Structures are given as structure tokens and as C-alpha cells.
């Protein structure tokens, strides 16, 4: 039995090129919308993950430029200034502190990296606290240090891959020209998708000794008690001489506000894309209604009610939007990784991990939005078609 849906479907197939072009337009809008929503969700969750994976909420560094301090935390850059280890006692006095871990970042020019050399960076960590602070780290081979002052090294997966190291191998560190030291690789970490993948961890005391920086650190990671007021605690830490306090909440807020501007722009583009698609749909359906003016008149003269004609045209619109929406969303999911790479190239800072996350819910929501827009777009052409007067239409008089 022929239903209104079948007729609507067949009508769309009568002008295949036009239907395909309209679907492509809708699909593009759905793609932009889905990718934008996916970015909205993915960026914040990747940033949160990066921050959670650091294992601490506050970082205390020597006084300097706060942006450089943020880079030090998020990109694992080199330390700008050193602090005395004694400062740890002052930090520990505060009741808000759950645990602290001192760190020393050292970078050295390595003449054997590439044609003209390059920098090698090492992170000195406290073997007694790092394991509990970064409890999410798992080992591919080996384990943490066996000796807090030993000539040992733990490597992130990518650092180990670059150096082709495995547990038990040796790694040559050259703190000063002509003075190289052999360290034993005791552990290779599993991939984390964070900066730890590229980090070479050395026991703090060992790194201090190798680089003649005994008693010096570049930062202290502070894990605060759950109920602590982080903002108030930051103020207290600022009372310490010559330190700078960088809260990850603060860093997150700054980054999110920087990215918000870009997001508003992209959102505007998405809205424009949807409007263009909406106009395209109205245009396509209206043209189709005008082309079938006489046909609609005949259908009505045969007993079709205005509601039937309205539904017929409306269903055509919905089919177009549903197909376009599904194709566009599927493209967004399939190309999410490519979008991810593109956005990462465009933005000055992006967290590690996937920043465009499109799941089934988002797929459904975006498709629903596109179909909703389609339903609205179809109202006028459907109303126009339902108002066709049979006699005038059959005579070929288009009002």
C-alpha cells in the first residue's frame, strides 16, 4: 500500500541532483555543529585529565613570569629559577597540605641530537612521594627507583621509544661537556597520553648531584586536602618569600577563557552554516512545491485534505534533514581525529589526548537539532502546499 512516506521518498528521488546537493549542505552543517560540540566537550575533559594526571593541584615555583610557570607545569619546560629545598618545610606546615613532592627540571644541550644538537631534559623526582602522587602511572617494564640516590632512570614510553631503551639498558647523561654518566633504566612507563610519556625521571638527589645543584629544586607539587579552600591556601603560600604559586584551577580558568573566544567564533560560523542550510532546505522544498503545483491540485481534487498535503511536504523536509544529519554526524565521527590534529595545529596550546570527543549521545543530539531545524524549515513550504486551490492549480495558475 502506498503511504504518504513512500510518496515523499519518491518525490525526492525525482530530482536526484537537487536532493543530493541539499543533503550535502545539511550534512556539512551537521558536521560543523557536531565537531564544535565535540570540541566543546573534549577540550575541557582533556584539560581536566591533563590536570588530574599531574597528581597535584598547586605548584610552587620561584618567582618569575606566571605564564612561563604555567608552561613549566603543562609543557614540562625547563625551570627558570631555583628554590632551596628548605622551603618544603614551610609549605608542609599548612594544614591544607595533604602531600608534597619536590621536583628539579634540568635541561642540557646534547650535541648528539640531530645534525646540530638539541636539548635533553630530565626531571628529578622524589622516589618516596612520586609514586603515590602519580598513582595513575603504570609500568610497561620494571618499576620505580630501587635507590633514592642511585644512578637510575625511569622513562616515559615515548622517551624510551626514541632512545630505544628497555629496563636493564644503560642511558648516557651528559650534564657538562666531557662529563658523561651512565644511568641504568629501571622502568619504562606505559603510555599515558600526557607529557609524562616524553619525560625522563631521575631520582632528585641524583640529578642534583649530577648537575651540581645540591639542595636546589625548581618546583614543588602540592596535593591539597579535599575540603581545603584552594584560593585561601594560595594566599597563605604567597606569604612565603620569593615564591610564586600557580594553581591548576587558575591555569585551567585562564586557558578556558582564552579558548572561549575561539569557541564563540566557531559557534557563530556553525549558526551561519545552519541558517544557510535552513534557507537551502526551504528553497529546495518550495521549488519542489511550485514544480508540483498542478499535481498537488489533482491530489486535492481526488480527496486529499490540506493536512495530508502538509504532511507530505513536511515529511520530505524531514527525510532530507535526517539523512543529511546522519551523514554529517557520521563524517564528524569518522574525521574526529583529523579535526583534532587540525585544531591542535591552530591553537597555541592544547591539552594532550583527544580534544574532539563525539559519542553516541552527541550524535543523537546533533541529529535531533538538525531534524528540528528541518521541521521548522519545512513549515512554510508545507503550509504553502496545503493552501493550494485545486481548480487554480489544475488550470496552471500559480498564485
Q: Which of 164, 212, 257, 399 binds other proteins (CB under 8 A)?
A: 164
Q: Is 334 in the site for other proteins (CB under 8 A)?
A: yes
Q: Specify the residue, 43 or 363, whose C-beta has the smaller distance to other proteins.
A: 363
Binding mask 177-196 for other proteins (x = CB under 8 A): ---x-x-----x--x-----
121 binding other proteins? (CB under 8 A): no
Q: Specify whether the CB–CB gap between 159 and 200 falls below 8 A.
A: yes
Three-state SS for 63? coil
* 365 contacts other proteins (rule: CB under 8 A): no
Site string for other proteins, 282-311 (x = CB under 8 A): ------------------------------
- Tell me which of 113, 253, 387, 395 binds other proteins, using CB under 8 A: 113
Residue-wise DSSP of 169-232: -EEEEEEETTEEEEEEEEEEEPP-SSGGGG-EEEEHHHHHHHTT-TTEESEEEEEEPTT--HHH
Residue reference for cell 590536570: 51
- Which of 140, 236, 263, 311 touches other proteins (CB under 8 A)? 140
If binding is defined by CB under 8 A, does position 215 make contact with other proteins?
no
Q: How far apart are CA 30 and CA 27, in angstroms?
A: 5
Cα–Cα distance list, 264 to 12, 43, 256, 271, 309 (Å): 36, 14, 12, 10, 40
C-beta atoms surrounding 173 within 10 Å: 22
Q: Give the length of the chain.
A: 399
The answer to whether 338 contacts other proteins (rule: CB under 8 A) is no
Site string for other proteins, 229-258 (x = CB under 8 A): ------------------------------
Nearest-angstrom CA–CA distance, 302 and 94: 86
Rg (CA), the chain: 31
Least distance CB 35 / other proteins (angstroms): 14
Q: Name the minimum Å distance from CB 171 to other proteins.
A: 6
Residues 6+ apart with CB under 8 A from 302: none
- The span of 5-13, 104-112, 144-152, 287-295 binding other proteins (CB under 8 A) equals 104-112
Stretch that binds other proteins, among 3-11, 42-50, 283-291, 354-362 (CB under 8 A): 354-362
Considering only residues 114, 135, 241, 396, which one is a binding residue for other proteins as defined by CB under 8 A? 114
**First-last CA distance in the chain:** 33
344 is an interface residue for other proteins by CB under 8 A = no
Least distance in Å: CB of 183 to other proteins?
A: 9
Contact (CB, 8 A) for 30 and 325: yes
Is 6 one of the binding residues for other proteins (CB under 8 A)?
no
* Cβ proximity to other proteins, 139 vs 383, nearer residue: 139
Q: Residue 265: enclosing H or E segment and its boundaries?
A: helix 248-291
Number of residues interacting with other proteins: please give it, by CB under 8 A: 33
Q: Shortest CA distance to 275 belongs to which of 39, 33, 72?
A: 33
Map residues 57-96 to x or -, x wherever contact with other proteins holds by CB under 8 A: ----------------------------------------
Task: Kindly state whether residue 326 participates in binding other proteins, applying the rule CB under 8 A.
Answer: yes
337 binds other proteins (CB under 8 A): yes
Give the whole-angstrom CA distance, residue 155 versus residue 133: 17
Nearer to other proteins, 27 or 91 (CB): 27
Piece of 2-10, 25-33, 279-287, 355-363 that binds other proteins (CB under 8 A): 355-363
245, 230 contact by CB (below 8 A): no
| Nearest C-alpha neighbor of 293 from the set 202, 391, 153, 183 | 391
Q: State the residues that interact with other proteins by CB under 8 A.
A: 110-115, 140-141, 158, 160-166, 169-172, 180, 182, 188, 191, 326, 330, 333-334, 337, 354, 359-360, 363
Amino acid at each position: 500500500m502506498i503511504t504518504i512516506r513512500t510518496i515523499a521518498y519518491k518525490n525526492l528521488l525525482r530530482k536526484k541532483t537537487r536532493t543530493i546537493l541539499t543533503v550535502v549542505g545539511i550534512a556539512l552543517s551537521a558536521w560543523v555543529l557536531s565537531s564544535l560540540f565535540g570540541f566543546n566537550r573534549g577540550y575541557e575533559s582533556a584539560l581536566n585529565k591533563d590536570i588530574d594526571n599531574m597528581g597535584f593541584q598547586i605548584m610552587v615555583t620561584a618567582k618569575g613570569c606566571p605564564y612561563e610557570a604555567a608552561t613549566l607545569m603543562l609543557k614540562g619546560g625547563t625551570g627558570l629559577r631555583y628554590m632551596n629545598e628548605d622551603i618544603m618545610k614551610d609549605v608542609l606546615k599548612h594544614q591544607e597540605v595533604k602531600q608534597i613532592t619536590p621536583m628539579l627540571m634540568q635541561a642540557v644541550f646534547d650535541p648528539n641530537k640531530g645534525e646540530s644538537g638539541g636539548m635533553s631534559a630530565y626531571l628529578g623526582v622524589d622516589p618516596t612521594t612520586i609514586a603515590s602522587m602519580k598513582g595513575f602511572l603504570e609500568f610497561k617494564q620494571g618499576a620505580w627507583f630501587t635507590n633514592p640516590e642511585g644512578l637510575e632512570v625511569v622513562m616515559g614510553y615515548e622517551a624510551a621509544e626514541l632512545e630505544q631503551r628497555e629496563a636493564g639498558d644503560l642511558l648516557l647523561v651528559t650534564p657538562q661537556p666531557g662529563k658523561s654518566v651512565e644511568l641504568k633504566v629501571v622502568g619504562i612507563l606505559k603510555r599515558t597520553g600526557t607529557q609524562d610519556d616524553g619525560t625522563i625521571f631521575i631520582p632528585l638527589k641524583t640529578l642534583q648531584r649530577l648537575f651540581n645543584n645540591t639542595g636546589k629544586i625548581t618546583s614543588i607539587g602540592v596535593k591539597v586536602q579535599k575540603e581545603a579552600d584552594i584560593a585561601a591556601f594560595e594566599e597563605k603560600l604567597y606569604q612565603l618569600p620569593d615564591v610564586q604559586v600557580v594553581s591548576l584551577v587558575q591555569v585551567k580558568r585562564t586557558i578556558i577563557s582564552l579558548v572561549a573566544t575561539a569557541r564563540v567564533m566557531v559557534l557563530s560560523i556553525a549558526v551561519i552554516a545552519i541558517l544557510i542550510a535552513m534557507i537551502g532546505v526551504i528553497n529546495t522544498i518550495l521549488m519542489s512545491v511550485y514544480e508540483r503545483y498542478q499535481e498537488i491540485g489533482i491530489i486535492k481534487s481526488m480527496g486529499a485534505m490540506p493536512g495530508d498535503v502538509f504532511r507530505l511536504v513536511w515529511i520530505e523536509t524531514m527525510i532530507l534533514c535526517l539523512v543529511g544529519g546522519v551523514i554529517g554526524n557520521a563524517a564528524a565521527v569518522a574525521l574526529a581525529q583529523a579535526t583534532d590534529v587540525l585544531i591542535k595545529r591552530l591553537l597555541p596550546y592544547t591539552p594532550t589526548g583527544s580534544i574532539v570527543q563525539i559519542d553516541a549521545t552527541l550524535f543523537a543530539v546533533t541529529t535531533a537539532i538538525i531534524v528540528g531545524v528541518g521541521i521548522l524549515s519545512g513549515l512554510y513550504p508545507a503550509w504553502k502546499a496545503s493552501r493550494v486551490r485545486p481548480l487554480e492549480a489544475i488550470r496552471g495558475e500559480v498564485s
